[in-house]
Structure 1
Amino acid sequence: MKILMAMMQHETNTFSTVPTPLARFCRGSSTGLPAEGEAAVKAFKGTGSALGAYIEICEAEGLDYVLPLAAGAWPSGPVEDAAYEYMTDKICAAVTAEKPDAILLHLHGAMVTESLEDGEGPLVARVRALAPDTPIGVSLDMHTNMYPAIVENADVVAGYQTYPHVDIYETGRRTALPILAMLRGAAKPTMAWGNRPMLPHVMRQGTHDFPNKQIQELAQKMEAEGALCASFFTGFPHADIRLAGSSAVVVTDNDPEGAQRMVDELLDLAWKERRAFVYEIEPLEQSLKRAQELKADGPIVLLDHYDNAASGGSMDTMAVLKGILDAGLEDVAAFAICDPAAVETMIAAGIGNEVTVSLGGKTDMPSIGRTGEPLEVSGRVKLISDGRFRNVGPMSRGVMNAMGPTVVLDTGKVEIVVTSTQQEPNDTAAFTSLGIDPTAKKYLMLKSRIHWRAGFRDLAAETVECAGVGVCTSDYSMLNFETVRRPIFPLDEDLQPVSVTR
């Protein structure tokens, strides 16, 4: 028996001007192309990823498996059509050539391309057309913007139940095990899905917080009581596409009515508590003043949440870092500014030497009416690195990250990590791999929204959310929504919950 598995992951921020060519999906690959075959197996075997779970299950069951493609990129603007065609053609060619007994896909659920609002649905539909009777399982991110084609062409769909996403491996298992049961004739998966017209703010989607904590606990309870998979997707609001927003999918064992009942229960709870998903913004100056006044036994996290790699940010806006420098905060480590030109300048200067660079601000943001604003910063080049490190966990344990050439610039008060590509600070290894002990700092500036909690929540004494500048803004009034279905909450205040269900 043979299992075909593949990964194609991208969360698309349609307001972002960061380009998404094929090269963006090649992090850590020496070939200039996404990993495939044995290289892909080597990269993900034994890791806390969905592919890691697929591989482990296949090997434990004595099943043959093939991995034609493992492609993942940090969120950014729409995926270039050529990149999308390369990846989907690679997967579909393998389906035709290998004739697998089952197919396991790890997708994101919020990919938008230059031509398609829904990048994943058409892929799953193509795979289904090539393998009409083959069981198909799909693992998805919690930020899926669900379109019908995914559910209509898969047999099992499972989404992450934690944010930060520390259950990616577990979601792979939740996807694969019902598919194997289906192959053995031990289960007959039946699915239902639905959505609600609501765009929860990402900053209010964390599963440590009400109401998503309670919604995900309900989904887990449904699984404990017999559902094969129960998933509530918060959705990704920074995608101006028709079906952006919250949805739910439930898979049962030959009980479609029960699946629909549970879908409605999840969606009704989310809709009832929709106002708790609205984020209240504090002005940056007020946030930094409050940070200075805090007395804490441990690091104070300064969260630059408007410019985050995991939501499509350029990671080169300077408003929060400038505020920190202007306020004279000391004993700060900042992760990170993405500026490959500044990195080159500092590498040329050499370790131990003083340098003045025009830092950040290289990216214009027409979708929010802002141009890039570089900041002149002086300091000592403290460290130069190749920017490669493995996550220690709990998120994506063992997965390799590649930031490109990376420099630590020490101003005397602030140690600034400057990278050549975007990187979410969701793991302490982001600092320790560069010789910085995050537990020893008074302040940690993190360009993150929720994922920072995976690696830093337990060591943070206090958290101050800093509304800077960027296309990950939590201020919806700055975003020009033209395509998303209307009315929708909270863009439109009160409305009835008209849903799309099946």
Structure 2
Amino acid sequence: MKVLIARLNHETNTFSPVATPLASFDPQYGADGYRAARGSRTAAGAFIDLAEAAGAEIVVPVIAGANPSGRVAAAAYTHLTDTIVEAAVGCDAVLLDLHGAMVAENSDDGEGDLLARLRQILPDAPIAVALDLHGNITQALIDHADIAVSFKTYPHIDMYETGEHAGRLLFEMAAKRIRPVIAWRRPPLMTHTLCSRTDEGAMARAVASAKAAERDGMLAVSVLAGFGLADIAAPCLCVIVVGNGDQQAAEAVADRIAAQIWEEREGFVYTSAPLEVSIAEAARAAQGEEGKGSARRPVLLLDHGDNCMSGGTCDNMAVLHAALARGLDGIAVGPVCDPEAVAALIAAGVGAAVTLPVGDKVAMPQLGVFPEPRPLSGTVAAISDGEYVISGPTYTGQRIRMGRTVLLDTGAAQVIVTETPQEHWDLGIFTHIGVDPHAARFLLLKSRMYCRPVFVPIAKAVVECDGEGVTSSRYEKFPFRKVDRPVFPLDRDTAWQGVDWSRP
């Protein structure tokens, strides 16, 4: 059995000004791709383990993934998908580690268009895909995949397990032990990422229903929250049910879970507080901690409006300047992505007193935001290569390379400035350059969710701050033009009882 295994991951924020060329994917081809994926805690890593256990011949055309950003460059999308499609000739089965929310300059449905091309070449071969929980699913993906399974956790810690699930079903299908059928529903519901965490609320209940349906006999049931910051036809939540030969039973499960979600649709909508209200809340939380006379724990300020893992520029300074204007101090912040400032600070050298503009240099023209850089004054406290190793639980053991990194101490704030946008996977983002996050009064993180397993346990309180970035939860800021209407919550006042969404 000859099995194609590939990874092509990108969550596209079509409003983001951050470019996505081929280099952003750091593609690894052939044997290099195989080595990069084998043993990794990814779906592709699970695919390889399963294929090797089955004694299959493995073809790995490419392993590629980029941080969320703007539309994928047409040349990059064409090259990467051509690489996969050309390698599929002569294969008996296909296992794909995809995100599900890729939008390219030349494709609004990156994954669906790829699968259509693969199905044309391999009309009878089993095709299984592992998907991110935030995928925007289309009819094309459903039509051309035999098996589709998504993560059940957010923050995501089950990438490998999802791949194992999808891959196991593919090999059972190939052996004719199961006969997969797919049913799906896509309510007109654009969720907010902050309401897609799987440990609480409506999303937790939806995932629990999916797991219960699997225990009751469905081969796989997935709830995908979707990714709303994409101006495509339907950046919406969906339910995918893989049944075993009984289409009617699968349809009934999809109907039931979709109806449950729609009934709880308000639970998938996040309402942002004004930034000044959030900063005042953080100030009160810090005072409450100090008033107890206990050991200090930091208050987390989560700048989810400029989140790296949703396509943020990571250079918007609205939250920091609001905190400084309020008189907050003891702030550890970063990383702020500003290669120009990094170069200037390194040229000044450790110990130098400097005044220079930091951040607010990347315009967001689709949102009509053209920030004016404001100066910070302080001392260059440290310079590093920007590398550390993640201790877990997400991407455990992976080495992070942030580019050259500088610590600017302004007195009230210790500002980490990097050459690239970064997510807060680990305390190492601070400790690698000599900042003790436990000692801060406030930790200002450009993060929504991935920071939480590591940073919440050391924190006194968590305050979500919606600044002026391109990953804001205020959908009213975004000029959606392609989205099919009506859709909730953009059209909250629609008479929904008259709208039939029972089929996508």
* CA contact 1:44–1:399 (8 Å) conserved in 2: no
* CA contact 1:49–1:397 (8 Å) conserved in 2: no
Separation of aligned partners in 1, 2:448 and 2:304: 5
* CA contact 1:145–1:246 (8 Å) conserved in 2: yes
1:467 aligns with 2:458: no
Shift of 1:481: 1.4
Separation of aligned partners in 1, 2:408 and 2:153: 34
Shift of 1:72: 0.9
Separation of aligned partners in 1, 2:392 and 2:246: 37
Shift of 1:142: 1.1
Residue 47 of structure 1 aligns with which residue? 40
Residue 85 of structure 2 aligns with which residue? 92
- Alignment RMSD, CA only? 1.8
Shift of 1:50: 1.3
Deviations 1:331-358 (A, max 9, x none): 3221221111111111222233333221
- Pick the aligned partner of 1:212 from 203, 221, 239: 203
Residue 57 of structure 1 aligns with which residue? 50
Shift of 1:89: 0.7
Deviations 1:96-142 (A, max 9, x none): 2xx23321111111111112211110101111111222111111111
1:433-472 alignment runs, 5 A limit: 433-472=432-471
Residue 500 of structure 2 aligns with which residue? 498
Change (3 A) 1:368 1:90: same
Deviations 1:259-278 (A, max 9, x none): 11111122111100011222
Deviates further, 87-96 or 428-437: 428-437
Separation of aligned partners in 2, 1:72 and 1:326: 39
Separation of aligned partners in 2, 1:399 and 1:252: 36
Residue 31 of structure 1 aligns with which residue? none
* CA contact 2:255–2:502 (8 Å) conserved in 1: no
* CA contact 1:197–1:498 (8 Å) conserved in 2: no
* CA contact 2:424–2:445 (8 Å) conserved in 1: yes
Secondary structure at 2:325 match in 1: helix
Separation of aligned partners in 2, 1:466 and 1:344: 29
Deviations 1:440-482 (A, max 9, x none): 3322111112222233233322101112111111112211111
Shift of 1:292: 1.3
* CA contact 1:5–1:54 (8 Å) conserved in 2: yes
Letter in 1 for 2:460: A
1:58-137 alignment runs, 5 A limit: 58-96=51-89, 99-137=90-128
Deviates further, 429-438 or 307-316: 429-438
Secondary structure at 1:439 match in 2: helix
Letter in 1 for 2:102: M
Separation of aligned partners in 2, 1:5 and 1:433: 35
Deviates further, 452-461 or 272-281: 452-461
Change (3 A) 1:492 1:188: same
* CA contact 2:149–2:220 (8 Å) conserved in 1: yes
Secondary structure at 1:412 match in 2: coil
1:182 aligns with 2:173: yes
Residue 326 of structure 1 aligns with which residue? 325
1:44-443 alignment runs, 5 A limit: 44-96=37-89, 99-294=90-285, 295-296=288-289, 297-443=296-442
Secondary structure at 2:306 match in 1: coil
Change (3 A) 1:36 1:158: same
Letter in 1 for 2:319: V
* CA contact 1:306–1:473 (8 Å) conserved in 2: yes
Identity %: 43
Letter in 1 for 2:63: A
* CA contact 1:332–1:442 (8 Å) conserved in 2: yes
Separation of aligned partners in 2, 1:43 and 1:354: 43
Separation of aligned partners in 1, 2:402 and 2:445: 15
Residue 29 of structure 1 aligns with which residue? none
Secondary structure at 2:305 match in 1: coil
Separation of aligned partners in 1, 2:32 and 2:414: 35
1:483 aligns with 2:485: no
Secondary structure at 1:18 match in 2: coil
Secondary structure at 1:434 match in 2: coil
Separation of aligned partners in 2, 1:435 and 1:174: 41
* CA contact 1:317–1:373 (8 Å) conserved in 2: no
Shift of 1:376: 0.8
Letter in 1 for 2:329: E
* CA contact 1:10–1:111 (8 Å) conserved in 2: yes
Shift of 1:500: 6.1
Letter in 1 for 2:13: N
Residue 31 of structure 2 aligns with which residue? 38
